[in-house]
Amino acid sequence: MRPQPAARAMRSVQRCLRQTHQIQPPILSQTPRVSSTAPTPTRAFTTTLRRSHNPSASTVDPTEVSHFNALASSWWDPHGSSRLLHLMNPLRHDFISSCRFNDPITAGQKLRYLDIGCGGGIFAESAARLPDTHSVTAIDPTPGVLKIAEAHKRRDPALMQPGKLTYLNTSIEDLALPATPSDGYDIVTLFEVLEHVNAPGPFISKLLPHVKPGGWLVMSTIARTWTSWLVTNVMAEDVLGIVPKGTHEWAKYVNEDELRGYFAKEPGWDGASARSLGVMYVPGFGWKEVRGGEDWGNYFFAVKRLG
């Protein structure tokens, strides 16, 4: 007999309570801090994660690659496993536009995008069609979804223009660095990716050189709170089934204040420019902006590289 949603949710709660005392969230700082006390459920949400890592190793999680390869065939089904990404896409563009509003550096010019972890190309395609877009380079380490992205791209002749939209099956570690800072990208996007990598600090450090001076790094991810765990892991995956089981690992979530702290100390980045926007999926209504939502659930985050 198939377990009932309530029973599955209860087992998830019990499992999380056991693991909370064992799992520490991913580290943003390159230098781990030493704690004199063991982590508790409360401290786990308010302290920097200290998962050890090898900075020279790839930040790609093979388990995540396997998971998203299995979902590749349904990527462009607006009612399939990627439905929430399709519904979120308009908000992604709105947030980027808000960052660029009255920005003298990027206003009025053709923009070059780098979309990291592009998946099947939902954002990459839409960005390539914008009138102020020069080109989009989209990378992903998952070969299955990139095959879907390439096939879908061929359905639009405008996207087949040389250099308009380029997909690369690679990780950020293996992507060639710009020859000079000014050869970087105007907009580097990282949508729903940070919570799927092994070590977010080293991962972010690898992508920073790809943003040109005056350009923006724009991302979306999930805060590491009890609320986000209940919404994304229990309700979305276990109870409602609107997200494929195993998509999210709560210990990998990154809080907004951790990102702000990271960029406040990162040379060459305008920490004061950092902005965020909380969002929430409301069944039947789609994604909605939620004031203060960045402190407890899904959120957008953007920061500008000093010109």
> Residue 79: how many CB atoms within 10 A of its CB?
8
Answer yes or no: is 95 a known binding residue: no
| 275 marked ligand binding residue | no
Question: Is 53 annotated to bind ligand?
Answer: no
Closest by alpha carbon to 49, among 240, 231, 252, 197? 252
Strand, helix or coil at 239? helix
Positive or negative, the Cα torsion across 157, 163, 164, 170? positive
Neighbour order of strands in the sheet with 298-305: 165-169, 133-140, 111-116, 185-191, 211-222, 298-305, 269-282, 286-289
The annotation status of 18 as a binding-site residue, yes or no, is: no
Nearest to 67 by CA among 252, 278, 281: 252
Least Cα distance to 210 among 189, 168, 181, 171 occurs for: 181
For strand 269-282 and strand 286-289, is the pairing parallel, antiparallel, or unpaired?
antiparallel
Tokens of 146: 């990139």
192 is in an annotated binding site: yes
Pairing outcome for strands 165-169 and 286-289: unpaired
Q: Is 51 annotated as a binding residue?
A: no
| Host H or E run for residue 148 | helix 143-153
Q: In degrees rounded to 5, what are phi and psi of residue 208?
A: -60, -40
Q: How far is 73 from 33, CA to CA, in rounded Å?
A: 42
- Burial label for 179, CB within 10 Å (0-12, 13-18, 19+), is exposed
Is 123 flagged in the annotation as binding? Answer: no
Binding-site residues from annotation: 92, 117, 140, 191-192, 195-196
Binding-site residues from annotation for Mg(2+): 192, 195-196
Binding-site residues from annotation for S-adenosyl-L-methionine: 92, 117, 140, 191
